[in-house]
Amino acid sequence: MNLFKKKEEVLDPYTVEQCNVCSKKSTRKFQEGDYIFKVTDKCPSCGNGQMIIDKIFGEVRK
């Protein structure tokens, strides 16, 4: 490891899902095939809604 090298930014992608009924949000690691507005699982919180992908973002790994 070279401490003097300017650090390269590695992005860790995350996916934010939101329930369409109770609006509960959950963040998890991005998985292959994720895209905005994709309907994923049933909401674990209210049990009625569907989790829909709200946004996908990258976080710089420290």
Using CB under 5 A, list all residues that contact Zn ion.
19, 21-22, 24, 43, 45-46, 49
Question: At its nearest, how many Å lie between Zn ion and the CB of residue 2?
Answer: 48
Question: Minimal distance in Å, beta carbon 7 to Zn ion?
Answer: 39
CB of 26 vs Zn ion, minimal distance in Å: 10
Neighbours of 19 (CB within 10 A): 22
Closer Cβ to Zn ion, 11 or 22, answer by number? 22
Q: Where are the beta strands (DSSP E) in 22-62?
A: 25-29, 39-42, 50-60
d(C-alpha 58, C-alpha 60), whole Å:
7
